[in-house]
Structure 1
Amino acid sequence: MTPMTAPHPSSAPTDRDRPGLRERKKIKTRTAIRDATYALIEEQGYDATTVEQIADRAEVSPSTVFRYFPTKEDIVLTDEYDPILEAELRARPADEPWADSLRYVLRRGVGFGTGEEGEVTRLRSRLVSEVPAVRSRMMESISVTGRMLARAIAERTGHDPDGLEVRVLAASLVGGLMEVMQYWAEHDHADGLGDLVDRALDVMEHGLPAGKPRGNDVAP
């Protein structure tokens, strides 16, 4: 669920399903490449950071970087948590209103925690807002999350996952979440990301609120 997804403690593997040695090496390499990329971007900016520099910092070859991430933008954007969120959405109580289920899962997926992952989420949101290449790649890749949401929404509501209504709803959700991330970055991450997600979902569910715009939304 790029660029907003961050791992949650409940998604940590247990001893029983911990990956094997080969998979752990792959995870270690991906993590090293990502950590090197984030560090270099913080030091010198996105445009000045090259794949060769990333490879050198991560102690791998440039071909290894490209084997794990087809483009530099993918290093920043790619995550592996959509399947976890899809499973959580399907696991919500059957009698829970689907809108409440969506709200619960999407809040879990925005990565609004503190600490290291919070810093990564803020960096991602800033890059999506400021770097056209990252924003363009984000628009391409976010369709994956939209298809995931469409499948889960269709399963919960009994609609056709390829039906127009489900597709429009799923696209509205992922588009709205992308706007949330951009708004958050444009306003220096002053508001809680979870609160902004709630505001966006309120608009999608109930329409624009009555009365004057709040806070930063007031026109100059």
Structure 2
Amino acid sequence: MEPEGVHTATGGLRERHKARRRSRILDATRELLRESPESVISTERIAERAEVSPATVYNLVGPREKIWEALAVAFTEELEGRLAARRAGGPREVVRSTVQLFVGDPVVSRRMVRGWQESGLVLDRGPLVHLRRAMADARAGGLLRADVDPDALAAVVSASCAGALHQWVAALIDDDRFLARALFAVDVALAAAAADSHRDELLAPLRSRGTA
């Protein structure tokens, strides 16, 4: 029987190997999408590019339709890291960082959103959590009125950003317009909920630009 420490170390090494292979699988999928954006991505093609067996793809990711969910999870984890590092930026930084991550890899982002039936959860799992926190911080700091519900405010902004995201995915708006509409949504929400002493400050972004 292996000592407990050896068993734990072996298990940890096994999990790291699995994580590395899963990362290779997702990287291979992204590469294939960038090379041929509208192609059908089969388990066999992914396995060949990742230099693993199709069974490994199935075991670590799941059937082909699950690849979109796996990409979304990886996207959310990357976004979580960015938002955690930029928390001091407030609600606008949450929105800006989210949009920048989408447009930073447009082919993969668009296919991920189109391919995953529950793609709206990308926004719920990462940005919405941080947006709620940022709104609560803004209220606690006196920027927003004390009677404002930060969760409701964040939900309104998230819904507007989701609409802009799907317009961008459908190529109805470009990257700049996507960002402008998302920031406009958060600016409108902040201005509407502004404390009297910060009203002019939070109205300034709206006064300095159009509605995009």
Q: Aligned partners of 2:40, 2:111: CA distance in 1, in Å? A: 13
What residue identity is the alignment partner of 1:104? Answer: E
Q: 1:138 maps to what in 2?
A: 119
What residue identity is the alignment partner of 1:204? Answer: A
Deviations 1:114-153 (A, max 9, x none): xxx82x2x11443256x3x42x221234321223433454
Correspondent of 1:184 among 168, 173, 186: 168
Q: Residue 49 of structure 1 aligns to a residue in which SS?
A: coil
Cα contact 1:125–1:184 (8 A) shared by 2: no
Check if 1:65 corresponds to 2:50.
no
Q: Aligned partners of 2:119, 2:43: CA distance in 1, in Å? A: 19
What residue identity is the alignment partner of 1:39? Answer: E
What residue identity is the alignment partner of 1:34? Answer: L
TM-score (normalizing by structure 2): 0.59
TM-score (normalizing by structure 1): 0.57
What residue identity is the alignment partner of 1:81? Answer: E
Cα contact 1:55–1:62 (8 A) shared by 2: yes
Q: 1:6 maps to what in 2?
A: none
What residue identity is the alignment partner of 2:69? Answer: D
Cα contact 1:125–1:181 (8 A) shared by 2: no
Q: 2:131 maps to what in 1?
A: 149
Q: 1:76 maps to what in 2?
A: 71
Q: Aligned partners of 1:106, 1:58: CA distance in 2, in Å? A: 33
Q: Aligned partners of 1:153, 1:190: CA distance in 2, in Å? A: 25
- Unmatched 5+ stretches in structure 1: 1-19, 93-99, 159-163, 216-220
- Structure having the larger proportion of residues in helix: 2
- Matched-pair identity in %: 27
- Unmatched 5+ stretches in structure 2: 1-11, 141-147, 193-205
How many residues are paired up? 172
